[in-house]
Amino acid sequence: MLQLADATVWQAWLKQQPVDAAPVVATINELGASIDPAALAQLQNDYMQQLGELWQNVWMSKAPAVADRRFAAPEWQAHILHSFSAASYLLNARFLMAMADATQAAPKAKQKIRFAVQQLVDAMSPANFLVTNPEAQQKIVETKGESLAKGIANMLADMQKGHISQSDEKAFEVGRNVAATEGAVVFENEFFQLLQYKPLTKTVFEIPLLVVPPCINKYYILDLQPENSLVRYAVEQGNTVFLVSWRNPDESMAHATWDDYIEHGVMKAIDVVQDISGQEQINALGFCVGGTLLAAALAVLYGRDETPLSSLTLLTTFLDFSDAGVIEVFIDEAQIALREQSIGKGGLMPGRDFTAAFSSLRPNDLVWNYVKSNYLKGEDPPPFDLLYWNADATNLPGPMFCWYLRNLYLENHLVKRNKLTVLGQKIDLSKINAPAFIYGSREDHIVPWRAAFESTTLLNPKKRNRNKFVLGASGHIAGVINPATKKKRSYWVNDESASSAEEWMQGATENPGSWWPEWAAFLAENGGRQIKAPRTFGNKRYEAIEPAPGRYVKVRAE
């Protein structure tokens, strides 16, 4: 049984039960949803029964089992008060999420309800507060208060930086130990620098590869360190690789449009690569938003009866935005209209807003985990190249960003034949006539893999056997950055055409390791003959300007 001193604490704590569902009810009402009274009554009955069992265990001095990694440390089991705190929180969380799931609402409204409730639930974890976190309390005792002082210092430093530190940012430097693959800038304008990388083989394929990364992030996610650099891997496979390094916009670009990014960005990069390589056709890769920009630019070119491609690669890319996943919680008519009013005719979408939005999609991993370690326990985050990149935000011009949100995310016009006009050209993705390698990540919360698969139905619709879809394990970034040498995770392939993602998955075969060799084989099939590797960067028209990674990638968003 509990000691008397403990019983007094418990009597005060238990008066707070049962869970306060008022914020959830308010969210449901705000979005015009409802819950069937019978379903709610059943949830309440189940909740009270489970809560009663918890109380019974406590009065019998039996610590409840807690199966959640946030409470895995031994301190949570060292005292029944803490294990009960964790167990009751998890019970309350399940009840609130069950309420969200039981709402009767349109799918998008229900998704917003579930997202809002999940944010509330994750924020209320006892692991996030010093007064209820026994790990942090024990650390204060062990360090004689030093961890508390260090945690406060860490918090104040992050407040100055404007973001939570997820990595030891002093451990990395762009151009020294990330974005360090050797090359040179061979072209630049106000939108991008074009990098050309030094060959690592004596001969190369005659068809060069142009990489178009997302303009919403820095390009070096594709060139972190030598052992996990997709860029270096492509060079090692005998490809002459060019890459677009987008400029981090400032006020001088506040009026740039989607058409500007197509004409002065992607299309100009294609033109320069053709000129330097002497090849009319090139291989092109687009990643995430970079893939969307690339496809739009190619639709313009093919609409003009130009045929610039030997092959196309799209990595975790939206062309069909009909299922945009959880990110749709940020996208509706009201929110986009507000953006259009504030920055649609000029201004910048701050990079820090992107970082905050993406972090909220995985708050336990990308927010609260670091609140606990950095602030409550006074620990410094370890060096991690991917999370260093994640904090290196980029801005976007307001007009370009608002056009993208309305026409693609909200209206899904890109897949509607001749609905969009870009640079005076009606857009028809089906005119892009080249073999396509399309990759999706199975746990991707930004571009759901089924949405990525839909690109196989939009490209080469009459010759779909020219399209190859590969599904990788893990998420939006970790699934893509899966080096072949590490032999981690797995991927799925199915060489038979399928009319739906489900049909494709039913016939797919799982393979261990990285999907990168599958892509390398695809590039080799479309790379042409082998020629002697070039000894210099650029050509007479486009001479080397400065060494890679160039100036643009080093500019930090203010």
**Residues designated catalytic:** 288
Torsion-angle region of 335 (φ positive above 0: left; ψ -120 to 50: alpha; else: beta): alpha
Residues 284, 457: Cα–Cα separation, whole Å: 19
Nearest to 177 by CA among 227, 238, 123: 227
Nearest to 537 by CA among 284, 199, 229, 174: 199
3-class SS of residue 266: helix
Neighbour-count burial of 541, counting CB atoms closer than 10 A to its CB (0-12 exposed, 13-18 middle, 19+ buried):
exposed
Long-range contacts, stretch 424-429, CB < 8 angstroms, 24+ apart: 425/299, 425/300, 425/303, 425/304, 426/303, 427/296, 427/299, 427/300, 427/303, 428/299, 428/302, 428/303, 429/295, 429/299, 429/319, 429/458, 429/459
Crossing angle of helices 80-101 and 37-59, rounded to 10°: 170
Residues 550, 248: Cα–Cα separation, whole Å: 12
Nearest to 271 by CA among 256, 284, 290, 258: 284
3-class SS of residue 187: strand
DSSP string, 330-348: G-SHHHHHHHHHHHTTS-E
Nearest to 469 by CA among 440, 443, 442: 440
87, 67 Cβ separation under 8 angstroms? no
Long-range contacts, stretch 58-62, CB < 8 angstroms, 24+ apart: 58/2, 58/10, 58/84, 59/1, 59/2, 60/1, 61/1, 61/2
3-class SS of residue 2: coil
- The token pair at 57 is 């265990």
